[in-house]
Amino acid sequence: MSQATTYSNWVEVDLEAIRNNIRWFLKNSGAPVMAVVKANAYGHGMIPVARAALQAGVNWCGVARIEEALDLRAAGLDCPTLLLGYTPPERVKEAVAQQLSLTVWDSCQVERAASAGQKTGIAARLHLKVDTGMSRLGVQPEEALALARKLAGTPGVIFEGLFTHFARADEADRRPTDAQERLFRGVIEQLEKAGLRPPIVHAANSAASLTRPSAHFDLLRTGIAIYGLHPSAECPLPEAFRPALTWKAVLSQVKILSSGRGVSYGHVYTTRANERIGTLPVGYADGYRRILGNQVLVGGRRVSVVGRVCMDQVMVGLDEVPEAQPGDEVVLIGKQRQASITAEDVAKIWGTINFEVVCGIGPRVPRLYLHE
Ligand SMILES: Cc1ncc(COP(=O)(O)O)c(C=O)c1O
């Protein structure tokens, strides 16, 4: 059933596609999986995605911010959940009380978590992050053993995990990631020798989960691939993966404009003859970038967005689809009959990556779920 009579523009998320993509990892790697559902599940909608991921068999959810983790808990999702990034000091107690696992990379954080553990009576679950080459967060490898000792010897905390993050696992050149993996293995060995290896060692994002079984360790941290989106052009998904997200809008108006009419702000597009022009209720406030060169699918054909993208609307050229009528469904990302525009296609036009395209779909765009 088309939603075109109910919504202006909307996203449809096929939760069965997400379950299918997760099952691929569970079956082909044999390792447990963390669904990375930060940033509103890469724009797909965090709660329904996390539920679907748990149905498919993931053991963990990963988020960036405590607010995201608290939303999971408020929705009744009490699965193991790792805060992958920074947690502000004032929020640590709350996180511990909700049995969220925290990422740490310095001794102050360990002490703060321990104090929260003592105050709440709930041991703080900590994952030590090692910076093996991303240069973003993490203790340097040569300082990891000392911090691990501190973690293991501090009452009120559980040394639950050890992890790192790859900067270039999606590239064809394996050497930079080989180097990161070697450094990480060095740290694991030191911890093992000291009897300090925590139960959950993890490193692999989607790209490494697909291409680097040696880095699977005890848990995969998969984001982009579970949404059916390619980690990169050099690291495409196997065929079995299916994109979950379709972004649609409705044609709100169709008109014929005579030659020489300027279209949208600034009149950067001018009709060259009598032209059929359609209007769509989607704009940059929905996350549709204000860039020239956008394309959409109408009547199973690719047509161009003409003129500037407005805050809430865009215009499209409909000369190639004379049958298009107000009320017709238009696809911004996804398939329509034989035609398709992928998030990767949109990313190319926008000069960015598919991650940013889907994460950028705004909060006012309704998310509808298929196969809940
Ligand atoms: C620490 C960490 N692990 C895992 C992921 C998932 O990465 P991907 O979406 O490439 O699978 C991310 C995402 O950025 C991350 O920041």
CA 220 – ligand 1 centroid, Å: 10
CATH number (2.70.70.10, 3.20.20.10, 2.30.110.10, 3.40.190.10) of 60-218 reads 3.20.20.10
CB-count exposure of residue 343 (10 Å: 0-12, 13-18, 19+)? buried
Closest CA to 160 of 124, 113, 204, 112: 124
pLDDT of residue 270: 98
CATH number (1.10.357.10, 3.30.1280.10, 3.40.50.300, 2.40.37.10) of 245-370 reads 2.40.37.10
pLDDT of residue 4: 87
Ligand 1 atom closest to Cα of residue 206: 11
Residues in contact with ligand 1 by the CB-under-6-Å rule are 36, 84, 165, 205-207, 221-225, 231
Could you tell me the maximum CA-CA distance found in the chain, to the nearest angstrom?
Answer: 79
Nearest Cα residue to atom 5 of ligand 1: 205
pLDDT of residue 60: 98
Identify the three-state secondary structure at position 179. helix
> Do 10 and 368 meet the contact criterion of CB atoms below 8 Å apart?
yes
| DSSP collapsed to 3 states, 242-295 | CCCEEEEEECCEEEEECCCCEECHHHCEECCCCEEEEEECCCHHHCCCCCCCCE
Active site residue 7: no
User: What residues form DSSP beta bridges with 256?
Assistant: 276
CA 222 – ligand 1 centroid, Å: 6
User: What residues form DSSP beta bridges with 265?
Assistant: none
The distance of Cα 352 from the centroid of its chain, to the nearest Å, equals 14
pLDDT per residue, tens digit, the chain (372 aa), is 579 899 999 999 999 999 999 999 999 999 999 999 999 999 999 999 999 999 999 999 999 999 999 999 999 999 999 999 999 999 999 999 999 999 999 999 999 999 999 999 999 999 999 999 999 999 999 999 999 999 999 999 999 999 999 999 999 999 999 999 999 999 999 999 999 999 999 999 999 999 999 999 999 999 999 999 999 999 999 999 999 999 999 999 999 999 999 999 999 999 999 999 999 999 999 999 999 999 999 999 999 999 999 999 999 999 999 999 999 999 999 999 999 999 999 999 999 999 999 999 999 999 999 999
pLDDT of residue 136: 98
Among 34, 127, 211, 221, name the best residue to mutate to test ligand 1's pocket (greatest count of ligand atoms within 8 A of Cβ).
221
263/215 Cα distance (integer angstroms): 53
- Domains of the chain, residue spans: 60-218, 245-370
Per-residue pLDDT tens digits for 148-191:
999 999 999 999 999 999 999 999 999 999 999 999 999 999 99
pLDDT of residue 2: 77
